[in-house]
Structure 1
Amino acid sequence: MTARIPKRPRDTNQLAKRVVDIATGEAEDKKPLASARKGGLKGAKARMKALTPEQRSEIARTAAAARWKKAG
């Protein structure tokens, strides 16, 4: 069984102390942040490699049209 990561405190003062302890190096933050984002960061690059320049242009054109439609 893997070790459980302790939950952060709900009380505002306890949470503030925990944040200060992590910032000053007195405590270690056990939450894994970087590993959760690996897939998302690789996905866009892989998708762009798979698309042709014409397909990328069409996607950009559609996105620009959607942005201009919102502003109007």
Structure 2
Amino acid sequence: MPTGPKAPKRPRDPNQLAKSIVDLATGETEDKKPLASARKGGLKGGKARAKTLTPEQRSEIATVAAQARWKKGD
């Protein structure tokens, strides 16, 4: 499975797919690419959140998460 940015979704209908390919080839539309900055923000989100939480809040979140994991086995 590729680890890079996902390619944009293409239409499933063969006629729409053909039109989108022609539009891309002729330059009528541009291929949309995901922004690299969005990925960077996602990578630091958890660390930034953990830094702002108090130890009591982190403990409570961890307790709820552990209970949810153990509950799944029932």
TM-score between both structures, scaled by the size of structure 1: 0.51
Match runs of 1:36-55 below 5 Å: 36-55=38-57
Identity of aligned residues (%): 79
Q: How many residues align?
A: 48
Relative to its length, the structure with more helix (as a share) is: 1
Any unmatched runs of 5+ in structure 2? 1-7, 9-32
Q: Structure 1: which 4+ aligned runs deviate by more than 6 Å? A: none
SS at match of 1:65: helix
TM-score norm. by structure 2 comes to 0.50
1:55 counterpart letter in structure 2:
Q
- Where in structure 2 are the equivalents of 1:6-25 lying within 5 Å? none
Q: State how far apart, in whole Å, the 1-side matches of 2:72 and 2:43 are.
A: 27
RMSD (Å) for aligned C-alpha atoms: 2.5
Offset of 1:37 from its aligned partner?
1.3
* Alignment gaps of 5+ in structure 1: 1-6, 8-30
